[in-house]
Structure 1
Amino acid sequence: MSILTSEDKIQDSNLEHALRFLHVITGNEESNNERIVLSMNTKLIDWPTFIGALVVLLSVTIPLILFPEAGAEVINMANTFMTGNFGVLYMIMGLLAFVFLIYVAFSKNGKIKLGNKDDEKEFGNLSWAGMLFAAGIGSSILYWAMIEWAYYYQGPPFGVTPESNEAIEWASTYGIFHWGPIAWAIYTLPALPIAYFYYVRKKPVLKISEAVRPVLGKLVDGPLGVIIDVLFIFGLMGGAGTTLALGTPMIAEGVHHLTGIPVTLGLQAGIMLLCTLIFAVSAYSGLRKGIKVLSDINLWLALFILLFIFVFGPTIFISDTTLSSIGTLADNFFRMATWLEPLGNLAGFTQTGFPESWTVFYWAWWLVYAPFVGLFVARISRGRTIQEMIFGTMIYGTIGSILFFGIMGNFGLYLQLSGTFDVISHMDEFGAPAAIIAIVNQLPMGSIMVGLFTILAIIFLATTFDSSSFILASVVQKEIQSEPMRWNRLFWAFTLCFLPLVLLFIGGLETLQTASIVAGFPIIFIMALLAWSFMKASSTDIKETNNYKSPTIHINRKEKK
């Protein structure tokens, strides 16, 4: 086992610094030990994946920099083609992922423990829930929870009249649906094989390609494996661009409200750099000292803001509307999960484009992020059973989304319906980020709450990116015993910011987001391979264990009295 990846030995960077210090005080021009360590350091990198990911990213971003308008047009055409012609595949994938996970949770495979028999849970339930929620959602939920209802209110689904009573019902429900059980099922599915191979079969590798080895065999050791991992990295970079595209202007509006500094590209670039610094320090500190601490702060601050809005806002309206929305979702879950406006192209019917613009787009967005979130959920789930990981992710994630959309969204809806503040007019005139800050400012102690909301958005953005850099570094290493190397984590932390920062100045962030969703189309089929791989590997091991041939797994069973 390499000294560079073991928790109980010196970290790679500390050892490297120590050797360099020894070189200085001894006056030696070169140290054999230093050369050995640096050689081992670089040998741990999966260079084809590392370089391949950078080549793909640059091959997309450089044309966007040189030819922004033409590049954006081509990518938007590809996105329209994908969502318009293959939307049904995204919808089927989301529904099947949800049904598959429910089946696994109640099967023998769901009782498998991730780790050894005596392993305790690495993280408590609250910290675990906070980390997975912050990684999977990020600051985007602050953006959409506050304002998504306004889009549904003006352009509702199912042919409903805009701004009608029925439109109000769907406006308060569809956000919970899009960020609810299916979204978290899409996130959770990749975690099954990844966690299984890492904690049960003891494979010290956190790669999507490795997770499909039971199906593809030695093919993952060649170009196909590199392509799978590179597609994941590119999708994650584009998804990160989406998060920055939404979060940065909202944070900038908060800073503008508090300080009066005009919202400019310079301010937004400064915010990006600040967030990069925060998550770079967090990523450098590691999983326990950095990411966990930041996620815990994020969780408690979010709960405080939600509780404040609930108590000092229209409490009864929020409670009643949220509960009604949950009921509406339960009654119409499968209708919403399968509706693709089939009559929209026929004579006499008006096509709104709602499914493609919202549900298909969201499923594609979750799909792009799914391998990353799956990798992260797998990494933090040691000591839990497969069933606990499935239900924990889906239930905690959905509850968190209900709280945000139920409290923040319905507060904004109340302001609109009661005439207290015309959210829609403000949004039409100044844009959605300004409308979000204006909604928060309607609370008691408005400026203080805007300040806390802005801080929360920064931390949310940072927690998403430190988790992302952790996982990206893991994917480009051949072996992970505890955590990826620090220089590797820092490299991806700054890469995550650099490309979106360049695209910000040419107005190409949304184009990068769209490009990632187009490139993420093959992940639909990779998801099927991941499900197949998990069932094949775990079922084989269960059979061997029951036959006392190779008791390599621990299955939780109730003791008979």
Structure 2
Amino acid sequence: MNTKLIDWGTFIGALILLLGVTIPLILFPEGGKEVVNQANTFVSGNFGVMYMIMGLLIFAFLLFVAFSKNGQIKLGDEGEEPEFNTFSWAAMLFAAGIGSSILYWAVIEWAYYYEGPPFGVEGGSPEAIQWSTAYGIFHWGPIAWAIYTLPALPIAYFYYVRKKPVLKVSEAVRPVLGRRVEGPLGTVIDVLFMFGLMGGAGTTLALGTPMIAEGISDLTGVEVTLGLQAFIMLICTTIFAISAYSGLRRGIKVLSDINLWLSIFILAFIFFVGPTRFISETTFNSLGIIMDNFFKMATWMEPFANIGDFEETLFPESWTVFYWAWWLVYAPFVGLFVARISRGRTIRQMVLGTMIYGTLGCILFFGIMGNFGLYMQLTGQLDVIGFLDTNGAPATIIEIMNQLPLAKFIVLIFTILAIIFLATTFDSSSYILAAVVQKKVEGEPLRWNRLFWAFALCIMPLTLMFLGGLETLQTASIVGGFPLIFIMFLLAWSFMKASNTDIRASDNYESPTIHIERWKRKGKKKKRSALEVLEDRKDED
């Protein structure tokens, strides 16, 4: 077992932080939950506006990068073809970034907005219905995928253009922080990212496992228990451990392709056998609402709450701020993964492809699944709101699926899809966690390392699930992810600084990739470029 490549400071630091949070929650569940919830209220209540500003700035920044000279940079050698075809590339980035959570929220999120709409609108009113169809797509739309994409810029740039075989967030901010990333500061940055990801994984498990359990219960008649949920979690762990162990091409790619084909099948089935006209018109109408109110939705806070006649709804903190924080926690992971699979594409293709394919996929899920559930509610075929209040979200989701023709078959496909979605998120997560704790990644992270993190991702959430602390862990990860706002700023700054330096140094202001290739053709591989000399001087300064 090769251990020389392991960055033990980051490896052990991440485990210590995770244990430092989870052990007190295990020993003092009620007290720990109260502390974490108070911290969450403080962060979201006092700094929620920072998350909102961050979302808009990242979205604007990425559009600028995509259409600037920086967007023309090729991630790889001149003339190199993309490592993965567009279908597999889109499947992998979507499966890694979304997971089974989209099956949960796409079906049921509209119901929460229906009852508790934004902007002081009365619950259950025609206006509330309009907003309920749009807000889910907004929360899972371009800003979410922009937050995901930002870390991919500097990471992919250093890995494929400057040829540095390191997949670390700390390495991506080297142009700004210099050699300081080689010390404790760099370790802290990587450990914070890993903690956020492991806690964010708890969120996905908290949503996906009960939903899968309800699907199995509906098909077999077995009662939903903690034991059943634990069994499901172990099955999913085995699947994604095998996938992560098999590697990117033989495991993760294959699982992601299956995932996408099953998604296309179930969405097409619901669209064509369900209320096709209602689904298509409502989805189209929702896109119009979002485009007409994009900046209103992206900036709405409640500064006048509890002043005069203004009542506080807590909608921004409960939904938009929470979602931006959730995407932020996952962003370095998804960015690392998108960077790893984007070899052979340009920066522009990577940025626009991730934002467009990711958003399009979410529009289809929310537009088709969500509006089918809404149709059941409005026509009286199923009292979704009443069923939700009585039985909870997981059971309601399966009950909505039961309203379709061939209901048991569709519930079976839906449950299998949820399992694979969960597995594809976690095999990607374990792959990236393994990469972050290695000093070098040439090809793929070490197999034993990938396998270790596959099971590490499951052990803590499994323990906390039995103690009822899974929700607390996900809240803690979002609070702990607050410093990532500043790291995101450093990532953007680092990419612009590095790419602009290379562009200025290149002949005739051509792509840095072309410049590097010219040096190779001139037989100057052993000579140090002016760029390297400049970088060394900056580090010394």
Query: In the alignment, what sits opposite 1:301?
Result: 262
Query: In the alignment, what sits opposite 1:429?
Result: 390
Question: How many angstroms apart in 2 are the aligned matches of 1:185 and 1:348?
Answer: 36
TM (normalized to structure 1)? Answer: 0.91
- CA gap of 1:555–1:257, structure 2 versus 1, over 3 A, is farther
Q: Secondary structure at the match of 1:317?
A: helix
Query: In the alignment, what sits opposite 2:299?
Result: 338
The amino acid that maps onto 2:147 is I
- Deviation, 1:317, is 0.2
CA contact (8 A) 2:503 2:509 kept: no
Question: How many angstroms apart in 1 are the aligned matches of 2:32 and 2:500?
Answer: 46
User: Equivalent of 1:154, from 91, 106, 115?
Assistant: 115
- Deviation, 1:474, is 0.1
CA contact (8 A) 1:112 1:554 kept: no
Matched, 1:187 2:148: yes
Query: In the alignment, what sits opposite 1:21?
Result: none
Matched, 1:411 2:372: yes
Query: In the alignment, what sits opposite 2:245?
Result: 284
Query: In the alignment, what sits opposite 1:240?
Result: 201
Q: Secondary structure at the match of 1:172?
A: helix
Question: How many angstroms apart in 2 are the aligned matches of 1:142 and 1:549?
Answer: 44
- CA gap of 1:493–1:197, structure 2 versus 1, over 3 A, is same
- Deviation, 1:345, is 3.1
The amino acid that maps onto 1:230 is V
Question: How many angstroms apart in 2 are the aligned matches of 1:313 and 1:482?
Answer: 46
Question: How many angstroms apart in 2 are the aligned matches of 1:549 and 1:417?
Answer: 58
User: Equivalent of 1:142, from 103, 106, 114?
Assistant: 103
User: Equivalent of 2:312, from 351, 362, 368?
Assistant: 351
Query: In the alignment, what sits opposite 1:75?
Result: 36
The amino acid that maps onto 1:421 is L
- Deviation, 1:548, is 7.9
- Deviation, 1:118, is 2.1
The amino acid that maps onto 1:258 is L
Q: Secondary structure at the match of 1:428?
A: helix
User: Equivalent of 1:202, from 163, 188, 191?
Assistant: 163
Q: Secondary structure at the match of 1:349?
A: coil
- Deviation, 1:555, is 11
- Deviation, 1:467, is 0.2
Question: How many angstroms apart in 1 are the aligned matches of 2:496 and 2:65?
Answer: 9
Question: How many angstroms apart in 1 are the aligned matches of 2:302 and 2:27?
Answer: 38
Query: In the alignment, what sits opposite 1:62?
Result: 23
- Deviation, 1:215, is 0.1
- Deviation, 1:347, is 2.0
Question: How many angstroms apart in 1 are the aligned matches of 2:348 and 2:515?
Answer: 13
- Deviation, 1:551, is 5.5
User: Equivalent of 1:522, from 470, 483, 491?
Assistant: 483
Question: How many angstroms apart in 2 are the aligned matches of 1:458 and 1:554?
Answer: 46
The amino acid that maps onto 1:256 is S
Query: In the alignment, what sits opposite 1:15?
Result: none
Task: Give per-residue Cα distances to partners, 1:489-524, cap 9 Å, x unaligned.
Answer: 000000000010000000010000000000000000
Query: In the alignment, what sits opposite 2:233?
Result: 272
Query: In the alignment, what sits opposite 2:535?
Result: none
Matched, 1:508 2:508: no
1:380-459 to structure 2, matched below 5 A, reads: 380-459=341-420
The amino acid that maps onto 2:327 is W
- Deviation, 1:119, is 1.1
Query: In the alignment, what sits opposite 1:363?
Result: 324
Task: Give per-residue Cα distances to partners, 1:212-255, cap 9 Å, x unaligned.
Answer: 00000011000000000000000000000000000000000000
- Deviation, 1:546, is 3.2
TM (normalized to structure 2)? Answer: 0.94
Question: How many angstroms apart in 2 are the aligned matches of 1:459 and 1:227?
Answer: 32
Question: How many angstroms apart in 1 are the aligned matches of 2:213 and 2:438?
Answer: 36
Matched, 1:211 2:211: no
Q: Secondary structure at the match of 2:358?
A: helix
CA contact (8 A) 2:161 2:512 kept: no
The amino acid that maps onto 1:447 is K
Q: Where does structure 1 differ by over 2 angstroms across 4 or more consecutive aligned residues?
A: 546-556
Matched, 1:490 2:439: no
- CA gap of 1:554–1:155, structure 2 versus 1, over 3 A, is farther
- CA gap of 1:335–1:41, structure 2 versus 1, over 3 A, is same
User: Equivalent of 2:129, from 168, 181, 194?
Assistant: 168
CA contact (8 A) 2:73 2:511 kept: no
Matched, 1:110 2:71: yes
Query: In the alignment, what sits opposite 1:3?
Result: none
Question: How many angstroms apart in 2 are the aligned matches of 1:389 and 1:549?
Answer: 19
User: Equivalent of 1:469, from 416, 425, 430?
Assistant: 430
Query: In the alignment, what sits opposite 2:532?
Result: none
Question: How many angstroms apart in 2 are the aligned matches of 1:512 and 1:428?
Answer: 25
Question: How many angstroms apart in 2 are the aligned matches of 1:554 and 1:392?
Answer: 25
- CA gap of 1:141–1:548, structure 2 versus 1, over 3 A, is closer
Question: How many angstroms apart in 1 are the aligned matches of 2:304 and 2:433?
Answer: 43
CA root-mean-square deviation: 1.3
Question: How many angstroms apart in 2 are the aligned matches of 1:133 and 1:548?
Answer: 34
- Deviation, 1:343, is 1.4
CA contact (8 A) 2:503 2:510 kept: no
The amino acid that maps onto 2:493 is W
The amino acid that maps onto 1:519 is G
CA contact (8 A) 2:73 2:512 kept: no
The amino acid that maps onto 1:107 is S
CA contact (8 A) 1:112 1:555 kept: no
Q: Secondary structure at the match of 1:478?
A: coil
CA contact (8 A) 1:280 1:490 kept: yes
CA contact (8 A) 1:113 1:554 kept: no
- Deviation, 1:346, is 1.0
Task: Give per-residue Cα distances to partners, 1:373-427, cap 9 Å, x unaligned.
Answer: 0000000000000000000000000000000000000000000000010111111
Task: Give per-residue Cα distances to partners, 1:29-76, cap 9 Å, x unaligned.
Answer: xxxxxxxxxxx8211000000000000000000000000000000000
- CA gap of 1:288–1:347, structure 2 versus 1, over 3 A, is same
Question: How many angstroms apart in 2 are the aligned matches of 1:551 and 1:126?
Answer: 28
Report how many residues are paired.
517
Question: How many angstroms apart in 1 are the aligned matches of 2:115 and 2:59?
Answer: 30
- CA gap of 1:237–1:550, structure 2 versus 1, over 3 A, is closer
Matched, 1:310 2:271: yes
Query: In the alignment, what sits opposite 1:93?
Result: 54
The amino acid that maps onto 2:247 is G
Give unpaired runs (5+ residues) of structure 2: 518-541
Question: How many angstroms apart in 2 are the aligned matches of 1:456 and 1:210?
Answer: 36
Task: Give per-residue Cα distances to partners, 1:427-457, cap 9 Å, x unaligned.
Answer: 1111000000000010001011001000000
CA contact (8 A) 1:245 1:510 kept: yes
CA contact (8 A) 2:36 2:475 kept: yes
User: Equivalent of 2:10, from 29, 34, 49?
Assistant: 49
Task: Give per-residue Cα distances to partners, 1:234-284, cap 9 Å, x unaligned.
Answer: 000000000000000000000000001110000000000000000000001
Task: Give per-residue Cα distances to partners, 1:324-378, cap 9 Å, x unaligned.
Answer: 0000000000110000022113121110000000000000000000000000000
Matched, 1:261 2:243: no
The amino acid that maps onto 1:168 is I
Q: Secondary structure at the match of 2:3?
A: helix
- CA gap of 1:397–1:281, structure 2 versus 1, over 3 A, is same
CA contact (8 A) 1:116 1:554 kept: no
- CA gap of 1:548–1:156, structure 2 versus 1, over 3 A, is closer
Matched, 1:224 2:185: yes
